[in-house]
Amino acid sequence: MPAVFDLGVCVRHWDWSETSQTVSIFTRDRGLVRGIAKGARREHSAFSGGIELLTVGEVGLIIKQQRGDSTLTTLTSWDVREHFVMPRRSLACFNVGMAIADVVQRSMQEGDPHPRSFEAVVDALRQMERGVPPLHSLSQVLWRLTEDLGYRLNLDHDVRSGSPLSRPELEQGTVWLLPAEGGFTLGRDAKAWGTRWQTVEALRGLARGDEVESPERAAKLLGSYLTLMLETEIPALQTVLDAMAIPASA
């Protein structure tokens, strides 16, 4: 069976043997790929000396369909295209990089590509390399994931009344996020999260692709919201969220 090639970023790896690795690669055109890279750590192998976390490369894949929906993937090569040093030099960049890797591998599925999310992850790593604040990069990735996974928040209208959420109305008091309804309301609700209007404005900035003034608020809300929607713990992401000096509902 011939190999197929795709661009991917490594979001997890662990040793399978002394010379081989088991890896999770988030690819642009095939979604999340979990497989074995036999001989990856051998000298002069086709794997650039081993596959490192949060590196981008062209990966060669042989994908064999097993019984049911499971697949067995063998990696045939890994040609490094981009290597990022900031996650190894800065603790903040490392923690955000680990958070991005963790949320990707817990939210993406094999055979379900999301090219825009892939590009957002790579862009986030590039931004941190250029000195962009890590939480700004994280907030962009989380926003893109909520969109691609079908959890995009309604930022334009009150999900209860249907009335527009204009800035003057938002500035009058607390806005309330209703996670199960995917949006905000101006009326208080016991099941809602109290949210400042600055956070809603930050989310609107992310939706437009702008740099936002409160990336930490956007990241905190989006991370908590996405964790709830996925119904799974995301430990590395939670570590970053817990380190913020603001509540999830701020």
Residue with tokens 């799974």: 232
What pLDDT does 49 receive? 62
Does the residue 94 lie in any domain?
no
What pLDDT does 51 receive? 79
Task: Judge if 56 and 113 occupy the same domain.
Answer: no
Does the residue 98 lie in any domain?
no
Name the pLDDT band for 135 (thresholds 50, 70, 90): very high
Q: What is the pLDDT of residues 153-208, one digit of tens each?
A: 999 999 999 999 887 777 777 899 999 999 999 888 788 999 998 999 999 999 99
Does the residue 97 lie in any domain?
no
Task: Judge if 201 and 116 occupy the same domain.
Answer: yes
Helix, strand, coil % over all residues of the chain, rounded to 5: 40, 25, 35
Name the percent of the chain lying above pLDDT 70: 89
Task: Judge if 79 and 156 occupy the same domain.
Answer: no
Q: What is the mean pLDDT of the chain?
A: 89
Name the pLDDT band for 249 (thresholds 50, 70, 90): low
What is the residue range of 44's domain? 4-83
Contact predicate 199/217, CB 8 Å: yes
Question: Pick the residue with more confidence: 98 or 250?
Answer: 98
Please name which of 142, 141, 149, 75 lies closest in space to residue 112, comparing C-alpha atoms. 149
Burial class (CB in 10 A: 0-12, 13-18, 19+), 25: buried
Region 75-95 average pLDDT: 93
Query: The CATH number of the domain where 205 resides is what?
Result: 1.20.1440.120
Region 58-72 average pLDDT: 73
Region 215-221 average pLDDT: 95
Domain count, the chain: 2
Amino acid identity, position 36: I
Q: Provide the token pair at 4.
A: 């197929």
